[in-house]
Every structure is written in C-alpha cells, then in structure tokens.
Amino acid sequence: MSFAVDSHIIGHFGPYGGRFVPEALIGALDELALAHEVALKDPIFQAELAELHRTYTGRPSIITEVKRFAEHAGGARILLKREDLNHTGSHKINNVLGQALLTKRMGKKRIIAETGAGQHGVAAATAAALMGLECVVYMGEEDTKRQSLNVARMKLLGAEVIPVTQGSKTLKDAINEAMRDWVTNVDTTHYMLGTVAGPHPFPTMVRDFHRVIGVEAREQCLELMGRLPDAILACIGGGSNAIGIFHPFLDDVNVRLIGLEAGGSGIESGLHAATISGGSPGVLHGTRSYVLQDANGQTVESHSISAGLDYPGVGPEHAYLNDIGRAEYRAITDAQAMEAFALLCKTEGIIPAIESAHALAGAMQIGKELGSEAVLLVNLSGRGDKDVQTAADYFGIPL
Amino acid sequence: MSTPLDTLFVRTRSENRAALIGYLPAGFPTQQGCIDALTAMVEGGVDAIEIGYPYSDPVMDGPVIQAAADTSLRNGTGAAEVMATLAAIAKIAPTVVMTYWNPIEKYGVDKFLADIKGNGGSGVITPDLTIEESDPWIAASTSHDTNRIYVVAPSTLEERLRKVTAATSGFVYAASLMGVTGTRTTVSSSARGLVSRLREVTDLPIAVGLGVSTPEQASEVAQYADGVIVGSAFIRLLQEAHNPQDGIAKVRALAQDLAKGLQRS
C-alpha cells in the first residue's frame, strides 16, 4: 500500500484539506489547480524550474554530517540537509520560484504574499524581482516592528510591504488581509501562499514544489551510505519544509518521519504553537486541519520564540499523516530549541534558523532514544542570520 | 414545511416589492444594545434580520464589520449569546444567522441547527462553506427544516450557479461585487448581471448584499432583486453614535428611509 494520497483532484487528505472559502475565489483556485496539474506533467516547465534551481537557488543542496554535534545526541549519526545554503537563506525559495513561473503562465502580473518573520515575504519579493512581477506583501504590524530588517530587504527588492493592523497584528491576520486583497483583485493577482496550508490546491502544490528536498536527500543518502536513514526530522509551523522532505519517503515504512512543533513555554502553559500536539481538528484559512481554538471555534493566538513557526494552524497533510500514524509530531520548547541552536553554532560553525533548531533539538532526543547505530536526517530549513538579534537577547549578548 | 423567511418572500413577491434585510453581529455594540438596535430596525421597516456570529478570522468582511466583530468578541460573545439574540429577534421578524464555518463545526453541526430551529431561526448563511464540503450540512439542515443560504459571486460560472442554487433554500445571497463587505459609493454594475444570470437557473428569491448602504442604492437594487441586504451602514451609525439612544434613533431612521424605496414601479 501507499501512504501518499492523490490529492490533486479533490484536495482532501482523509477528512482534512478541501476548500472553505468565499465562492468568489473558486474560479481562481480552479485555474491555479489546473495550471499546477498541467505544469507538473510538462517537461518544459519542469526543465525551466530545474534550471532556475541549478543556476539561481544553488540546488542540489548539500548534505553535511555533524559529528561533534552528534556527540550530544546519543552518538547517533546525524546528517543535515542544507536548505539554509539556498539563495535567500531557506527552503522557501523552492516554492516561490515554482509559483512565480505559474503566475506568468496564468498571465497574471501581480502577486501578493503573507509573511510572519519575513522569510517567505523576502523569497516572494525575490521571485517577483527576478520575473518582473509586481509584489505586495502583507505583514502584521507587530511583525514589521520585530523584523524591520526583513521589511527593508523586501523594499530593496522592489516589493510594497503593507502593515496589517487588524486582529492580533501577526501572521494569521496577514493571511486574512491577503485573502481579502485576493477576493478583490483575483482577475489580475496571484496569491503566493507560503506554506502547505490554505484551500486546495495550495497544500498539494506547495508540497510538490518542496518535494525536491526529499527527492535529493533520498538519492544522497543512498549514495553516501547505501541505505536510507532511520528517521527524518523537520520543524513544523505550517509544515512546508517538513512535507517537502517527508513526502518522497512516505512509502519507505522503516523510515520514521518526525515533525517538531513549536512548544513555546510548554504545551501545559497554553503559550505555544504546537497545533497537532496541543490543538484540535477545525477549519482555518480555507482548510480543515488541526487548529488552536477555543470552545467557540475562535482561533487562539500562538506563541513561539520562532516567528516562522508562530502560526495557530498546520498543513492538512500533516494532520492526516498524524492520524494514520505514518508521521509523529512532538513539541519542542523555546528553551530546548535555543539549547540546540547554541550547540550547533559552537560544535559545527553553523548558525541555524531558530525554526530549524526545533528539528535539531528533536534530533538530540531521538538520537538518545535510538542509540549510536541510528542515522538521523535533519532538514536544516534555514540559516540563522535573521535570528541574531533574538538569539543575542536570549543569551544576554550585548549589541 | 416553510420557514418564516420563505413566507416573507412569498408575501413581498405578491406585493411587488423587495424585502429589506438588516445585519448586525451579535454582541455589538453590546449584547443588549444589539437586540435593541435590531428591534429598532424592524420597527423602522426592515423585513428580516441577519445576525452575524462574530469570528476571529473573517476573510469576507471589510474593516467596518471586522471592527464590530472585534468589539463583540471582546464583549465575550460566543454561541450562547448568538442564540440568545436569535431567540429575542425571531419573535418579531424572520431571522437567519450568518456564520463562518468553524464555529458551527466546533459547536456540532446537528446541535447547531437544532438550536437555530429551537430559537425560532429560519436558517443559516454560510459564506465560506463550499458546496463540495456541504454533505453533512445538507443532511442536517434538511432534517431540521432550516434554510441553507449560500453566497455566490460575480465570478461564479453558470454550471456552478446551478449546482449551488440547487442546494440553496430561503434565498440566494448574491454578492454585488468581487470584494469584501463594506459601504461603497455606488452599487457595482456586476450585481445586476449576476442576478439576471441567477434568474436563468433558479426561481429562488435573490437578495443582493455587499456595498448597499443608501436609500438610493437600495431602491436601485429593489428594481431587479427580491431582497436588499444592508449591514455596514447600520454598524457605522452605531460606531459613530454619541450615545446608545442616539445610535438606535439613527438606525431606526435609516431603516425607515431604506424601506421607502423597496416598491417596484
């Protein structure tokens, strides 16, 4: 049997996924689903995207074995998939280049995007600059203050950044505002959603653009070791880097797939962003999945030291993989993530994104559980340059 | 079986006029203030009421309704308050609840409709429930005999209009434009086109909403639609009022002005 769901036609992953959107968006979602479906089978599109990845993104991303770090993880062998070395500094570029090519194919000239920490916004602005598209990025007002450097980066790249002052003024409200823009300007505009959430076809399409991570990693593992890893670990906010590395391994049933959610101050504190570990099934931003919500179905604000994981929803395919038991999800607290962050810096000379540090903290736990014979593959989804301020504050380093 | 809403449209059609539908989110400006304002609307000539269930992530709504929903949520409005408002208003006018899907799912589809019916409601407007996700909803609303009101848009293609209206009862909510709720200076010309395309595929009453705020606009829409929905304009009056009495008086006056232009020539 196969654990991969054919979500291309109906957009469902078991009871999850689907479309919960105003009727005004159905036409655009159908158009996008068709464009994606055609592009997936079109060798010209695939060649164009592969060439961009080779000459612009810097793919394939390399594998780095981290032996000194592994001494703190029960001696298990630990391999990092280096998405942090991609252009713009994270896996996000995989998705935006794919969607930008689709935007041009659909004849649209304007893209909109949401961003929390600014990583997807920067990636979207980059793709727009490369392909000559107008770009508007919605960003919660709170986040524009916390991430002013990324706001400047987006502006340098020619994007307009609109601070969102509604609701909690963070990522979730930036998505609401982007959807309102899209409903209004759908004829001319493509919504370049940054993760594997939202209405069909986004969870399927964004996953397909990130599968390159897992496809490369599978070949690299076989080449390097002649076998597959025992476990693959990735951090989960919306879940795009995780699904990208998990998906090509779904039918390799001996490979454990482990998603590390943002546990914030701990699930029991209520201050976290661990949607699967600490939430319940519901509908948010056009898709059914796990959601952080109260007794009335109102979305509850999430909390994490990592802005990129600070989202009260999660991609529907992860909800499905959790329920059928093919993937496992654990929460990593802010403190555990920061310990792993500091350790990778000092033992390997690599400053990871705080998001990715959640996966590293997971490796420290799993490595100890599995012992020194085990091989763990960790998706290092982004680099930590953007997090220097946060980390300096956390560790008390004066700036 | 027919609901009070069904009966209303039979009557307004026989009177050769459009029905006027007024909207407020429950709990805005306060729990009792909302009931008082809705009562004033009905006294002023509004035929039917749409009570909004305030939601944290209202992607179909513009700034005016978002701000009102925020106020309401801060007032602690939840399902119990929405149902209490419904119970109070359904006694004086046909009433429906408008809600995004997640609060229904969290409450329980069957229980939600049982309570809508039990509190005298005619049905529910579901702006983000697509027809593809509707199976449990259609089954439950059929067994509870409540109206299922879907929202269609100018971009909705004919085949889909057929599919959506086939599942609709009470009335079809025609969004006048591609966009979110809020007052506009003119009613989009796409409203008339959408209504005439709807007439080709359904005999159901059709009500036009989004951007209708003045008596002139209401009167214009009344010439070709069965219902006129006004929301943000009432909310603005309450937001700008000097005191609660002032707000209620202005709501009643707007309802009276809007009601004057519903007769078709």
CA of A178: which chain B residue's CA is closest?
A: B59
pLDDT tens digits, A231-251: 999 999 999 999 999 999 999
Is B84 within the bounds of a domain? Answer: yes
Q: What tokens does B243 get? A: 């005191």
Give the nearest chain A residue to B158 (CA atoms): A27
Residue B123 predicted with pLDDT over 70: yes
Give the model confidence (pLDDT) of A18-28 as tens digits: 999 999 999 99
CB B59 to CB A22 under 8 A? Answer: yes
Number of domains observed in the structure of chain B: 1
Residue A1 has pLDDT above 70, yes or no: no
Cβ-Cβ pairs closer than 8 A, A with B, add up to: 115
Among residues A202, A213, A181, the alpha carbon closest in space to that of A92 is found at: A213
Predicted confidence at residue A168, as pLDDT, reads 81
Q: Which residue in B112, B101, B116 sits closest to B58, CA to CA?
A: B101
What confidence score (pLDDT) does residue A103 get? 98
CB contact, 8 Å: A167 with chain B?
yes
> What is the 8-class DSSP label of residue A300?
P
| CB contact residues (below 8 A), chain B span 46-105, against chain A | 55-60, 62-63, 66, 70, 73, 78-79, 101-105
Q: Is residue B265 part of a domain?
A: no
Confidence band, pLDDT 50/70/90 cuts, at residue B119:
very high
Question: Helix or strand or coil: residue A296?
Answer: coil
What is the predicted pLDDT for the residue at A325? 98
By C-alpha distance, which of A340, A330, A326, A352 is closest to A246? A326
Beta-carbon separation of A283 and B105 below 8 A = yes
Instruction: Point out the catalytic residue in the list B6, B61, B81, B220.
Output: B61
Amino acid at A207: R
- CATH code, B219: 3.20.20.70
Strand partners, B52: B25, B98
Instruction: Mark yes or no for CB contact B180/A180 under 8 Å.
Output: yes
ipTM: 0.96
Tell whether B264 is covered by a domain: no
Over residues A333-391, the pLDDT tens digits come to: 999 999 999 999 999 999 999 999 999 999 999 999 999 999 999 999 999 999 999 99
Q: Could you say which residues from 182 to 221 on chain B have a Cβ atom under 8 Å away from some Cβ of chain A?
A: none
Q: Can you read off the two tokens belonging to residue A361?
A: 């903290």
| pLDDT tens per residue across span B43-82 | 999 999 999 999 999 999 998 999 999 999 999 999 999 9
| pLDDT, tens only, A55-112 | 999 999 999 999 999 999 999 999 999 999 999 999 999 999 999 999 999 999 999 9
Q: Name every residue whose Cβ is closer than 8 Å to that of residue A362 and which is 6 or more positions away in sequence.
A: A233, A235, A258, A260, A330, A332, A378
A291–chain B Cβ distance below 8 A for any pair: yes
B188 in any annotated domain: yes
- Evaluate if residue A220 carries a pLDDT over 70: yes
Write down the mean pLDDT value for chain A: 96
Q: Which helix (H) or strand (E) holds B158?
A: helix B158-167
Structural domain range at position B175? 4-259
Taking the C-alpha atoms of residue B145 and residue B38, their distance in angstroms, rounded to an integer, is 25
Is a pLDDT exceeding 80 seen at residue B187?
no
Interface with A, mutate which of B102, B157, B190 (most A CBs under 10 A): B102
**Per-residue CA distances from B220 to A164, B17, B46 (Å):** 35, 12, 17
Q: What is the overall mean pLDDT for chain B?
A: 96
Best to test chain B binding among A10, A12, A13, A23 (most B CBs inside 10 Å): A23
- Chain B residue nearest residue A300, CA to CA: B56
Catalytic residue among B6, B36, B50, B81: B50
Picking from B56, B59, B133, the nearest residue to A180 by CB comes out as B59
| Active-site residue flag, B105 | no
Q: What is the pLDDT of residue B91?
A: 98
Phi, psi of A262 (to 5 degrees): -85, 110
Is B47 among the domain residues?
yes
Per residue in A52-89, is it b (16+ CB within 10 Å) or e — as a string?
Answer: bbeebbebbbebbebeebbebbbbbbbbbbbbbbbbbb
> pLDDT over 70 for what percent of chain A?
99
Contact between chains at A167 and B63 (C-beta distance less than 8 A):
no
* Single-letter amino acid code for the residue at B120: G
Neighbours of A6 (CB within 10 A): 9
Provide the edge-to-edge strand list for the sheet that holds A327-333: A63-65, A77-82, A375-380, A231-236, A256-264, A327-333
Alpha-carbon gap, residue B21 to B63, rounded angstroms: 21
The residue with tokens 């300007």 is A185
Q: Supply the angle between the helices A92-105 and A119-131 in degrees, to the nearest 10.
A: 40
B179 closest CB neighbour out of A18, A23, A183? A183
Residues of chain A with Cβ-Cβ distance to B102 below 8 Å are 282-284, 291, 293, 297, 299
Is A24 an interface residue toward B (CB < 8 Å)? yes
- Whether residues B178 and A179 touch (CB distance < 8 A) is answered with no
Q: Is B167 at the interface with chain A, CB within 8 A?
A: no
Q: Is A59 on the interface with B (CB under 8 A)?
A: no
> Burial code of A144-165, b = ≥16 C-beta within 10 A, e = fewer?
bebbeebbebbeebebebbbbe
Among residues A86, A373, A119, A380, the alpha carbon closest in space to that of A260 is found at: A380
User: Which band of pLDDT confidence, cut at 50, 70 and 90, is reported for residue B255?
Assistant: very high
Decide if pLDDT at B265 tops 90: no
Angstroms from B58 CA to nearest CA on chain A = 7
Question: Cβ(A154)–Cβ(A128) under 8 Å?
Answer: no
What does the pLDDT read at residue A199? 98
Using only C-alpha atoms, what is the Rg of chain A? 19
Is there a contact between B107 and A26 if contact means CB atoms under 8 Å apart?
no
